Amino acid sequence: MSMGTSAGIEESEGMVRLVPGALQRPASPLTVGALNRQLLADFPAADAEPWDRTGMTVGDPAQLVRKVAFALDPTVEAIVAAADGGANVLITHHPLYLSAPDSFAPATSVAASPGAGVWCAVERGVAVLSFHTALDVSPRAQRVLPGLLGLAFQRVLQPLPDTVEKGYGQLCDFGDGPMLTLGQLSARCTSVFGRAPRVWGDMGRGLERVVTCTGSLADTGRAALRAQADCVVCGEAKYHEALDLSQAGLDIIELGHDASELPLVPVLMAAVSALGVPEDAMFVVNQSHNWSYPEAVRV
């Protein structure tokens, strides 16, 4: 039976580290391979974009799951934090890579060595499982942003073929609540996500139909315009795309790519919990402070 060492976890500057102590038994009789198969049943690779990487990219499928870490991005720092926290599995939204690395060497970032994440995961014995666009289009993800923003979900804006439950973008209204202006919805976004968004449009304009979209806006903006939405809340939009859409009458609230997708991490945690992994065998690597606005920093 696979064994690891861990007696407790301490957090330091948003990361976790291992506190040496008693031997830790596996969290459950679940193997890494079985965990990967079960999650692929929830978030099928067939639902993902063809260019994406879904499921396990690094790891030993025969190893028993000891502890599971979760993060938005499988950075070298996150892999180290997972290992230091006693986890032998790191589950992320974004994949370890899209194009396979052409070299592998130890480094602090894939910017310095394309295979740095793979090197670190193998070296530290951490399996990396990622569910990117398969998670984005899942029914579990459709209620996340609308729920956080107090919007009433109506339907998936861009459904996948042969389904109305999976797809990109969520068309919403305000339900039984009062309609908001663009300025009021933007302020709500600031309150919910803890950082001010970039906003395109007239702050005094009243809104009726709102589209939410995690991550990159891509062609969801044009779809929102066709659906006669007043505003789209997204992770990020290219400048000219945002300019053109806003001048066509679609207001844009740009949260930041990571800010919009960090709430998807609890969706992954809930899926793993449903498989019988106990709460004390799961933890999140804090990646909410990778960047900041200068005016929000006290000197």
pLDDT, tens only, 48-69: 999 999 999 999 999 999 999 9
- Whether pLDDT at 4 is above 90: no
Whether the pLDDT of residue 22 is over 70: the answer is no
Percent of the chain scoring above 70 in pLDDT: 89
Question: Distances from the Cα of 84 to the Cαs of 69, 110, 156, 219, 236, in angstroms?
Answer: 10, 20, 40, 40, 32
- pLDDT > 50? residue 270: yes
CA distances to 3, 8, 19, 235, 271 from 24, rounded to whole Å, are 6, 10, 12, 39, 23
pLDDT for residue 28: 63
Check pLDDT > 60 for residue 247.
Answer: yes
Q: Given this model, what pLDDT does residue 20 score?
A: 42
**Per-residue model confidence (pLDDT) at position 293:** 78
What percentage of residues in the chain have a pLDDT greater than 90? 86
Q: What is the pTM of this model?
A: 0.89
Residue 250: is its pLDDT beyond 90? yes
The CATH number of domain 137-260, selected from 3.40.1390.30, 3.30.413.10, 3.40.50.1820, 3.40.190.10: 3.40.1390.30
Tell which wins on pLDDT, 23 or 1. 23
Q: Which residue has the tokens 């979900």?
A: 153
85: pLDDT strictly greater than 50: yes
Q: What is the pLDDT of residues 204-221, one digit of tens each?
A: 999 999 999 999 999 999
Q: How would residue 8 be classed by pLDDT, with cut points 50, 70 and 90?
A: very low
The whole-chain average pLDDT of the chain stands at 91
**Tell me, which fold does domain 4-132 have in CATH?**
3.40.1390
More confident residue, 137 or 13: 137
Dihedral angle of Cα 60, 61, 67, 69, to the nearest 10 degrees: 80
| pLDDT bracket for residue 291 (50, 70, 90) | confident
Do the domains 4-132 and 137-260 sit in the same CATH topology, yes or no?
yes
25: confidence class by pLDDT, cuts 50, 70, 90:
low
- For the chain, the structural domain boundaries read 4-132, 137-260
Residue bearing the bigger pLDDT, 291 or 150: 150
